[in-house]
Amino acid sequence: MIYSLTGKILKKGLNMVVVSCGGVGYCAQCPASVAASLPGAGKETTLYTVLSVTENDVSLYGFATEQQQACFEMLTSVSGVGPKVGLAILDVMDPDRVALAISAGDHKAFKAASGVGPKLAQRITLELKDKVAKGFVEGVSLEDLSAVSSPAASNQAGAQATAALVSLGYSPSEAALAVAKIDPALPVEEIIKLALRGMAGRR
């Protein structure tokens, strides 16, 4: 397996990049968001990769972080989620969003990705719930995931703030992730204010 590539960018497209390593140009498909974040041609970069070998094709997929790399492998382990759909999901959701959406059973979050319908979205959350519960993504603690997946276990102020954010149009997983990072001892209004500020900063 080719775990990573470090070299000079020869060419970059909307969802692909060619990296020169040891005189060989490796073409890796990647989420459009990753391609856009990479430097231009002639600059050095490191891609974390997944090599897919099938009967009729050999393809390389590239990511900016090891978390994206692991998330892609996890997503494509689900029946019906091929590399194209895996890339589409990571183009609209970062790994912690993916993990939290799965833990919360928020299958609707995955429908934002091209090629993901209601049935496939539900299959993703069902098949991957156990994997996520084992602490797949760094930065989202098991306590956070447990609180989101079990509303009764979360504190009252946090639950009220999450509900308020959902009423404002945020998805349950997006709202829960923002609230989980804030001191639950604060008043509900303050939690909402800080959560909105945090989400605005990520957009």
pLDDT tens for residues 115-157? 999 999 999 999 988 777 555 544 444 445 444 444 433 467 7
Give residue 123's pLDDT: 93
Name residue 85's amino acid: V
Query: Is residue 100 assigned to a domain?
Result: yes
Q: 107: domain CATH number?
A: 1.10.150.20
Per-residue pLDDT of the chain (203 residues; tens, 9 = 90+): 789 999 999 999 999 999 999 899 999 999 999 999 999 999 999 999 999 888 888 999 999 999 899 999 999 999 999 999 999 999 999 888 888 888 778 899 999 999 999 999 999 999 988 777 555 544 444 445 444 444 433 467 777 888 788 777 777 777 888 888 888 888 888 888 888 888 776 54
Please give the residue range of the domain that contains residue 49: 4-64
| Residues 56 and 79 occupy one common structural domain | no
Rounded to whole angstroms, how far apart are CA atoms 32 and 67?
A: 17
| Residues 70 and 137 occupy one common structural domain | yes
Last residue of a domain, one of 64, 91, 108: 64
**Phi and psi at residue 193, in whole multiples of 5°?**
-60, -45
Rounded to whole angstroms, how far apart are CA atoms 26 and 54?
A: 18
Q: What DSSP element (H or E) covers 46?
A: strand 44-53
| Residues 77 and 34 occupy one common structural domain | no
Give residue 202's pLDDT: 56
Q: Whose structure tokens read 């609180």?
A: 147
> Angle between the 95-104 and 83-92 helix axes, to the nearest 10 degrees?
100
